[in-house]
Amino acid sequence: MTARPSDMTIRSIGIVRSPVRHKQKPGFHWEEVVSEVIIDDSLAEALEGLEGFSHITVIYRLHLSGNGSKMASKVHPRGDEELPLVGCFATRSPYRPNSLGQKLVKLLERRGNVLRVQGLDALDGTPVIDIKPYIPGYDSVENATVPRWAKHD
Helices and strands in the chain, H and E counts: 1, 8
Q: Cα Rg for the chain, rounded, in angstroms?
A: 17
pLDDT per residue as tens digits for the range 51-85: 999 999 999 998 766 555 566 788 887 778 888 89
Contact assessment for residue 134 and residue 57, using Cβ atoms and an 8 Å cutoff: yes
β-bridge mates for residue 114, sequence order: 38, 111
pTM: 0.84
Secondary element (H or E) of residue 21: none
Architecture of domain 12-21+29-63+99-135: Beta Barrel (2.40)
Spatial distance between the Cα atoms of 75 and 84, rounded to a whole number of angstroms = 8
CA atoms within 13 A on the CB side of 32: 3
Q: What pLDDT, on the 0 to 100 scale, is given for residue 14?
A: 98
Q: What pLDDT, on the 0 to 100 scale, is given for residue 115?
A: 98
Q: What number of other Cβ atoms are within 10 A of residue 115's Cβ?
A: 26
List the chain domain ranges: 12-21+29-63+99-135, 69-97
Split at pLDDT 50, 70, 90, the class of 108 is very high
Residue type, 63: H
β-bridge mates for residue 132, sequence order: 57
Mean predicted confidence (pLDDT) in 46-51: 97
Is residue 1 predicted with pLDDT exceeding 80? no
